[in-house]
Amino acid sequence: MIKRRDWFKYVFSSILGLLTVVGKPSVIAAQGVNKEVQKRNQARLLTQIGEKYLNEGRASEALESWESATKIYRQLGYEEGITGSLINQNLALQALGLNHQACNTLLQALKLNTDTKICAISPVQSTESITKLLIAAIDKQKHLPVNLFAWHNFGDVLRLIGKLDESKIILAKTLSIAQQIPSVEPNNILLSLANTEEAIYQQARNKYYEVEELDFKNEIVDLIPQQALKSLEVYQQVNQVSANSPVTQLKSQLHHLSLLLDFEKWLTVELDLGNQQLVEIRNQIQQQIQPSVNRVLKNSSTFSQLSATQSVYAKLNFANSLSQIPEQQLRSLAIEYGQSALQTARNTTNQRIKSYSLGTLGKLQPEKSEAYFREALSLAQSIQAEDIVYQWQQQLGNLYNKQGKAKEALTMYKSAIDNLAQIRDSILSSNIDIQFFFQEEVEPVYRDYMKLLLKDSNPNLKEVIQTNERLQTAQLENFLKCGKLDLVALNEVQNLNSAGIIHIIDLDDTIEVILQSQDRSFHHHSVEANLIKDHVSDLIRKLQKDKLVSTNVRQIILPSQALYEKLIAPISSYLPASGTLIFILDKSFQSIPMGILYDGKDYLIEHYSVAVTLGSKIRSPKPLSKKRFTALIAALSKPSPSLSDSNAPKGIRPLPQAKEEVKDVQSQTQSYLTLLDEKFTTRRLEQEISKNNFPIVHISTHGQFSSDPLKTVLLAYEKVINIREFDKLLKSRIQTDADAIDLLVLSACQTAKGNKRSALGMAGVAAQAGARTTVATLWLVDADSTALLMEEFYKELKNGISKAEALRLAQLTLMKNPKYAHHYYWAPFLLVGSWL
């Protein structure tokens, strides 16, 4: 489970060697004060002790030692020592996985203004403006080796927190300066630049698997080979220029090989899908694999030149690469390198590298895997390394599952999920590897656990629901790249006032439907996935057609009825005749308005109001107060600069009818503030949300929901607002201690076409807004019908009707109007969150 960057993340001895020297006084005057000499020697000793601690895997103690050294250097006013010790602190923080704190520490070392917020998860400034400030700072500073070293480290840590564009720019600039200074070794900086290029490839590869918009996917298919080849070229460049630096050369060779194998795997999958344009590239890549292996073997004596920690991670990296090549001889060689790594690790006190070595051997030697994984787990637990504990628990769960040991497998899966819950907020926001590999490395723990639970003759349905809740919350947090969301579990809500909660869970081979009825009892049935997924894809494809309004109603009814029969009919006898149905939907089902399901006579919405929640959690539910029925209304009705923004949805036009919608909302509210066209700027919207405690925020503007956060946008007058900026905009209200927004309405949005997971973007907007309830549209609808629906919706709300029921009645108003009876007009409206 070690990613290609993991082993390198902890290899800092060559860096520390330089900074230990930095910690020495360059000149101690003979007439200097004896006390100052003692203090400098003390700081030097603390620096060396910190290096020893870090190489032993004792990062917390290393950090304490370097903090003490920094304190002494500050007392002495020794700037070079202060800078060096702060760089060392950053290394310890990285080893602890505290990459954002490491980034902020480097800002101090570089004497940069922290107001740039570059180390924040969601920067308030654009990449372009931040990098201009940073480049200016590099040019302004003296080009001392220690300063260039700090900038080098800064580029590395920016990569680790996912700021890849900024990392690339900083490293390229630092490299250009280092190449002009004889006392600075530029090859390590070039290697870091290659690592960032590879991270950009991994980011594109990850988006390719997450995003389904056809246009965007085609862009990524072109980008991935370009970026992979570019990364490989830079690694080769490092290899060529580092003939006199075998350690740097070995690192570049290891990265080059692992990237070749990863890229070859992606190319093979694409070719299987029929992309014949990639045949030549794959042939070229396959021809490079054995020569790449040979280069590492030729340089194998260099493993002994590394520190113990570096050597272990380097050998494990090579073993993992060799294990992916089918030749049996190389498989045996992989085991040899894994065993060599373990032997080296056992000669140290570093429990972390011992654990990684054992875990790697567990994967390489299936016949001995249980013993290896158990010892790896025990060591990881002994140092409370939860970020690797869950990995070995997952591996043991998989092993026991294959062996038919259900009880043991369940215990391990449950423990892995519990550990993920403890560390999720930190790893999702600061560990770029987890972000990149979330779907393939993290999600399976949850899904395998649920599959195994449901195999029992009397399954624990409550545990399945809670696990699904945890998974969906983790998915959303990974999408937002944020810490834990402040949500309330549905089972903690005292008065649900609902007809039932329906969980639809996609477990690949089966679709599981679990109903929690009004009396809190559970009812479950399972459907073979191949009987339902075609209907799901068919319905989504038809609903996302540009000319949906001209689609024959019968074409929509057929898949809608098939889904009703498979999903709802088996539990219908446990449902009351009316009320609110709360849906917790998995994966592709999130892009289907569930009210559209058809029983052969009526649509679901004709009997039930419908709400969708984020997992099984919501903001604390609360009905709208009749006494405070006030709204902030923002709308875009005419051409604006944002319409031509490259990140705006394609093919959109001004919304002149938005003015009528604004008037309708105004007529139904007690008081309001309206931001129309030029007045609807991001700055003004933020000011008004912060200054005025409006329970309702109604935004009538173009927007798009996507499974890619950067493609999830709303249009203000002057610019496009992406979801990260939307978060910052709404956070201003939280900072004023105002009440949460009771109702956020986004009335002119659409989900990205061809993307079954695009509704994740809607859930993300709802979560970032902090709104109890969000009402939005799955596709861009007719402005006249929307204005009518909104008028009815607010009229019902003003009469004290719940939000979900008010939306249902407004939709039925359109459905019963012959002019708007087509699904195109009434079906796209979705209520996310509290239905009260």
- Whether residue 2 is contained in a domain is answered as no
Per the structure, the complete domain to which residue 727 belongs is given by 626-833
- Whether residue 451 is contained in a domain is answered as yes
Say if CB 745 and CB 775 are below 8 A apart. Answer: yes
All residues at 6 or more sequence positions from 169 whose CB lies less than 8 Å from its CB, including other chains: 131, 134, 135
- Percentages helix, strand, coil for the chain (3-state, rounded to 5) are 65, 10, 25
Nearest to 719 by CA among 678, 749, 672: 678
Say whether both 403 and 446 belong to one domain: yes
Say if CB 616 and CB 491 are below 8 A apart. Answer: yes
- Whether residue 416 is contained in a domain is answered as yes
Beta bridge partner(s), residue 528: 510
Tracing tokens 């000499």 back to the chain, one arrives at 37
Instruction: Give residue 20's pLDDT.
Output: 46
Give the separation between CA 372 and CA 475, rounded to whole angstroms: 31
- CA 659 → CA 195, 454, 714, 720, 721, distances in Å? 51, 52, 18, 20, 21
Say whether both 644 and 760 belong to one domain: yes
- Whether residue 193 is contained in a domain is answered as no
Say if CB 583 and CB 504 are below 8 A apart. Answer: yes
Domain termination site, one of 451, 480, 509:
480
Instruction: Give residue 618's pLDDT.
Output: 61
Ranges of residues in the chain with a pLDDT under 70 are 1-33, 114-116, 121-127, 211-216, 272-273, 424-437, 480-497, 614-621, 730-739, 752-757, 760, 763-764, 766-769
Instruction: Give residue 6's pLDDT.
Output: 38
- Encoded tokens for 91: 């290394």
Count of domains in the chain?
A: 3
- Whether residue 114 is contained in a domain is answered as no
Instruction: Give residue 124's pLDDT.
Output: 47
Say whether both 674 and 789 belong to one domain: yes
Domain termination site, one of 480, 514, 544:
480
Say whether both 438 and 554 belong to one domain: no
φ, ψ at 370 (rounded to 5°): -60, -45
Say whether both 640 and 756 belong to one domain: yes
Instruction: Give residue 22's pLDDT.
Output: 45
DSSP 625-641: PGGG-EEEEEE--S--G
Domain termination site, one of 459, 480, 501:
480
746's enclosing H/E stretch is: strand 743-751
Beta bridge partner(s), residue 634: 675, 699
Residue 788 sits in a domain of what CATH number? 3.40.50.1460
Say whether both 641 and 502 belong to one domain: no
Say whether both 611 and 632 belong to one domain: no
Say whether both 631 and 760 belong to one domain: yes
Instruction: Give residue 271's pLDDT.
Output: 77
Say whether both 594 and 645 belong to one domain: no
Give the separation between CA 417 and CA 77, rounded to whole angstroms: 48
Residue 540 sits in a domain of what CATH number? 3.30.420
Say whether both 400 and 455 belong to one domain: yes
- Whether residue 53 is contained in a domain is answered as no
Beta bridge partner(s), residue 611: 582
Instruction: Give residue 12's pLDDT.
Output: 34
Say whether both 664 and 786 belong to one domain: yes
- Whether residue 791 is contained in a domain is answered as yes
Kindly report the length of the chain: 836
- Whether residue 190 is contained in a domain is answered as no
Say whether both 740 and 651 belong to one domain: yes
